[in-house]
Amino acid sequence: MTGFEESLTKLEEIVARLESGELSLEDSVRLFEEGTRLSAECRKQLEEAEGKVEMLVKQRDGAMKRAPFGE
């Protein structure tokens, strides 16, 4: 598995190549499939990171409490 930043950079390169309009249909389909795979990989890595992130929530009494991200 590659790192998130590396996957995102590859995905951005694929999008740029697809948007150029200079690829054959076969190459476009191949890159689209690779981009779809990279997008899913990035999404999975973000979801895993989100699950690890905690935020501090201020309680009514002024105390701070840890809570999972997104609650």
Q: In which domain, by residue range, is 36 found?
A: 4-68
> pLDDT tens across 12-21, in order?
999 999 999 9
Query: How many folded domains does the chain comprise?
Result: 1
- Could you give the 3-state DSSP secondary structure of residue 17? helix
Q: What percent of the chain has pLDDT over 90?
A: 59
Residue 1 has pLDDT above 60, yes or no: no
> pLDDT tens across 22-39, in order?
999 999 999 999 999 999
Number of C-alpha atoms within 13 angstroms, CB side, residue 65? 10
Looking at the whole model, is its pTM more than 0.75?
no
